[in-house]
C-alpha cells in the first residue's frame, strides 16, 4: 500500500489506472500501512516483522488462552508443537496473513472463553474478531464457530439465557462495527457486498475432502506415507473413522464429568475445526484457485485440533498412565518436527521460480520497462508481487497459460479492453502455467498476439514482454 502511494506520487499515476482487487479483504494492507507509518520503516520490513512476531508469540498466546482449560503446561506444549510445525515455520517466515491470522484467532478464542458475563470483554472480542475477518476472509469459520458457541450457551444454560442474549447482541454490534463499513465499501466499489469470485473449480468435492484430510494429517503427524494411507486408502479411511468413533464415544461417556471451562473450550474448538474444514472444501470445490488443498489450508486448525485431543485425553475413562503416554506422544511429535525443519531450506518448484524471477528482475532492473519506464502505462505480470517488492511499482497480476501447443491468452485479451490512455506493459515469466520449455514463443503464438493488438518487445527463454 505504501509503495503504491509512493509510486503514484512520484510518477503521477492516473487514478483511472488504480484497480481494486476483490479477492482479499483490506485488513492486512491496512495493518502494514499503519505500522509502517508509526515506526516508521519500509512496508516490506513491517510485513515480515508481523509474521515473525506472530510466530514467536504463539506459545505465550496459547498459555494465555487455554491455561484454564487444559493447564498452562499442556497449553505451552501445544504451542511449541504448533510453532515447530514445518508448514507454520515456512509461512511464519514470509510476508503473509497466515500466521498472523492464527495468532489473532488463538487470542480471540481465549478472550471469548475468559469473557464470562463481562460486556467490555465481549465488546473487545467482537472488534478483534471483526478485524480477524478483515485480515483473512477464511476466518469466516471462526466467526461462525463463535455464533455456534453462543447458540449452544443459550440452549444449555437456561438460567443465564437472558444475560447470554445481551452478550450476543454486544458481540454482534461490535463485530458489525468493523465489518459493515467494509461491506458498504465493497458495495460502492464492486457493486456487491461480497465480491469474491473466481472461475468454477475442476476438482470435485470428494477429491477435495480427501486432500484436506491428508493435509490436516500432514500438519499433525508429519508422516507422509501414513497420512496418505489414512486419507486416500479405503482401509485407511476405515481406520480413521474407527479412531473418530472411539474419540466421540469417550466424549459422550465422560461428558457429565467435564468441567464447564473444558466443555466451552471443546465446543468452540470442535466447531472451528469442522466449520473450517467445511469452508475450505466447499470453497475449493466451487472456485478454481490454481492449486489443490495443501498444508497451508489446514494449518489454521492445528491448534484447535490439538486442544480437542488434549481435552479428551484429560477426561478419558481409560485409566492408564496418560501423563507419561501424553508426554511421550508430544515428545515424538516434537522430534519429528525438528527432524523435518531442515527441509524448509529446500526450495520447491514455486519457491525456485520466485527466486529465479526475482534475480532476473534485479539483473535487468535498469532496462525493464515495468521498473523504469511505465510513464503512466498500466503494468501487468504473472509475478506482479515480485515487481511490487523489488521495483515498488503498482503491477497487476495476469495468468496466461502456455503448455505445448496450447496458448490461452484470454487474460491478455481482456487487458486490451481496459480504457487506458497511455497503454499497457506486460511481463511474463515461466511458472506452473507457462512452461519454460515452450519459451521463447514460436511464430504461431507471436502471430496470435500480434493479431490481438500486442507488440512483442522481448521474447527470450526467461519470458516475454508485450506492449500496446
> pLDDT tens across 186-200, in order?
898 888 888 877 778
Block residue for cell numbers 495493518: 31
Q: Which residues contact 177 (CB under 8 A, 6 or more apart)?
A: 126, 127, 130
Q: Is 417 helix (H, G, I), strand (E, B) or coil?
A: coil
**Alpha-carbon gap, residue 288 to 281, rounded angstroms:** 12
Nearest to 295 by CA among 407, 390, 220, 370: 220
Query: Quick check: 430 pLDDT over 70?
Result: yes
CA distance 95 to 91: 8
Cell triple for 375: 510513464
Q: Taking 80 as the threshold, does the pLDDT of residue 8 lie above it?
A: no
Only one residue has cell 503514484, namely 8
Question: For residue 290, what is the DSSP state?
Answer: S
Q: In this structure, are residues 311 and 267 in contact, taking their beta carbons and an 8 Å threshold?
A: no
Q: What is the pLDDT of residues 204-237, one digit of tens each?
A: 899 999 999 999 999 999 998 899 999 999 999 9
What separation in angstroms does the CA of 386 have from each of 389, 427, 467? Answer: 5, 12, 19
**Residue 108 reports pLDDT greater than 80:** yes
Q: What is the pLDDT, as a whole number, of residue 2?
A: 39
Give the model's pLDDT for residue 25: 86
How many C-beta atoms lie closer than 10 Å to residue 38's C-beta?
9
Q: Which residues contact 270 (CB under 8 A, 6 or more apart)?
A: 304, 308
Does pLDDT of 350 surpass 80? no
Contact assessment for residue 5 and residue 37, using Cβ atoms and an 8 Å cutoff: no
The answer to whether 314 and 234 have CB atoms below 8 angstroms apart is no
How high is the pLDDT of residue 5?
Answer: 37
Burial class (CB in 10 A: 0-12, 13-18, 19+), 401: middle
Residue 180 has pLDDT above 50, yes or no: yes
Q: Is the pLDDT of residue 253 over 80?
A: yes
pLDDT at 273 over 90: yes
Mean pLDDT of the chain: 87
CA separation for the pair 201, 288 (Å, rounded): 4
User: How do residues 359-395 score in pLDDT, each as one tens digit?
Assistant: 888 888 888 888 887 887 888 898 888 888 888 888 8
Residue that the C-alpha cell 450476543 belongs to: 168
Determine contact, residues 43/32, Cβ cutoff 8 Å.
yes
Q: Is 80 exposed, middle or buried (0-12, 13-18, 19+ CB in 10 A)?
A: middle
pLDDT at 190: 85
Q: Is 116 left (phi over 0), alpha (psi -120 to 50) or beta?
A: left
Q: What is the pLDDT of residues 112-161, one digit of tens each?
A: 999 999 999 999 999 999 999 999 989 999 999 999 999 999 999 989 99
In the prediction, which pLDDT does 20 show? 66
- Answer whether residue 102 shows pLDDT above 90: yes
Q: How confident is the model at residue 264 (pLDDT cuts 50, 70, 90)?
A: very high
CA distance 301 to 273: 6
The band of 250, judged by pLDDT with boundaries at 50, 70 and 90, is very high
Omega within 30 of 0 (cis) for the link into 440 = yes
Do 270 and 278 meet the contact criterion of CB atoms below 8 Å apart?
no
Amino acid at each position: 500500500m505504501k509503495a503504491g502511494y509512493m509510486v503514484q506520487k512520484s510518477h503521477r499515476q492516473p487514478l483511472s489506472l488504480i484497480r481494486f482487487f476483490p479477492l482479499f479483504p483490506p485488513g492486512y494492507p491496512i495493518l502494514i500501512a499503519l505500522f509502517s507509518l508509526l515506526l516508521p520503516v519500509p512496508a516490506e520490513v513491517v510485513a515480515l516483522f508481523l509474521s515473525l512476531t506472530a510466530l514467536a508469540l504463539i506459545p505465550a498466546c496459547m498459555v494465555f488462552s487455554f491455561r484454564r482449560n487444559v493447564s498452562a503446561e499442556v497449553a505451552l506444549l501445544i504451542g511449541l508443537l504448533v510453532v515447530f510445525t514445518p508448514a507454520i515455520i515456512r509461512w511464519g517466515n514470509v510476508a503473509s496473513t497466515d500466521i498472523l491470522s492464527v495468532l489473532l484467532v488463538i487470542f480471540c478464542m481465549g478472550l471469548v472463553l475468559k469473557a464470562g458475563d463481562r460486556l467490555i470483554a465481549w465488546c473487545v472480542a467482537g472488534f478483534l474478531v471483526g478485524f480477524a475477518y478483515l485480515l483473512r476472509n477464511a476466518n469466516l469459520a471462526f466467526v461462525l464457530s463463535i455464533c455456534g458457541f453462543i447458540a449452544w450457551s443459550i440452549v444449555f444454560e437456561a438460567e443465564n439465557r437472558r444475560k447470554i442474549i445481551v452478550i450476543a447482541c454486544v458481540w454482534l454490534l461490535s463485530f458489525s462495527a468493523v465489518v459493515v463499513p467494509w461491506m458498504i465499501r465493497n458495495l460502492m466499489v464492486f457493486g456487491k457486498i461480497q465480491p469474491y469470485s473466481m472461475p468454477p473449480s475442476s476438482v470435485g468435492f470428494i477429491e477435495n475432502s480427501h486432500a484436506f484430510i491428508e493435509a490436516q494429517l500432514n500438519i499433525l503427524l508429519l508422516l507422509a506415507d501414513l497420512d496418505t494411507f489414512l486419507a486416500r486408502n479405503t482401509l485407511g479411511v476405515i481406520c480413521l473413522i474407527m479412531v473418530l468413533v472411539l474419540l466421540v464415544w469417550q466424549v459422550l461417556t465422560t461428558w457429565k464429568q467435564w468441567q464447564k471451562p473444558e466443555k466451552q473450550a471443546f465446543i468452540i474448538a470442535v466447531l472451528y475445526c469442522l466449520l473450517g474444514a467445511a469452508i475450505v472444501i466447499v470453497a475449493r470445490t466451487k472456485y478454481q484457485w490454481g492449486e489443490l488443498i495443501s498444508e497451508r489450508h489446514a494449518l489454521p486448525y492445528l491448534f484447535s485440533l490439538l486442544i480437542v485431543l488434549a481435552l479428551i485425553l484429560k477426561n478419558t475413562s481409560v485409566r492408564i498412565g496418560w501423563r507419561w503416554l501424553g508426554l511421550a506422544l508430544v515428545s515424538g511429535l516434537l522430534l519429528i518436527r525438528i527432524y523435518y525443519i531442515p527441509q524448509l531450506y529446500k526450495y520447491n518448484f514455486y519457491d525456485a521460480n520466485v527466486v529465479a524471477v526475482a534475480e532476473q528482475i534485479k539483473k535487468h532492473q535498469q532496462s525493464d520497462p515495468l521498473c523504469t519506464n511505465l510513464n503512466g502505462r498500466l503494468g501487468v505480470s504473472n509475478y506482479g508481487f515480485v515487481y511490487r517488492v523489488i521495483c515498488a511499482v503498482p503491477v497487476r497480476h495476469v495468468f496466461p497459460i502456455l503448455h505445448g501447443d496450447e496458448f490461452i491468452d484470454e487474460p491478455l485479451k481482456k487487458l486490451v479492453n481496459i480504457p487506458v490512455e497511455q497503454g499497457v506493459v506486460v511481463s511474463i515469466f515461466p511458472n506452473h502455467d507457462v512452461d519454460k520449455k515452450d519459451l521463447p514463443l514460436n511464430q504461431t503464438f507471436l502471430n496470435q498476439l500480434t493479431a490481438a493488438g500486442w507488440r512483442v518487445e522481448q521474447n527470450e527463454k526467461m519470458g516475454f514482454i508485450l506492449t500496446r
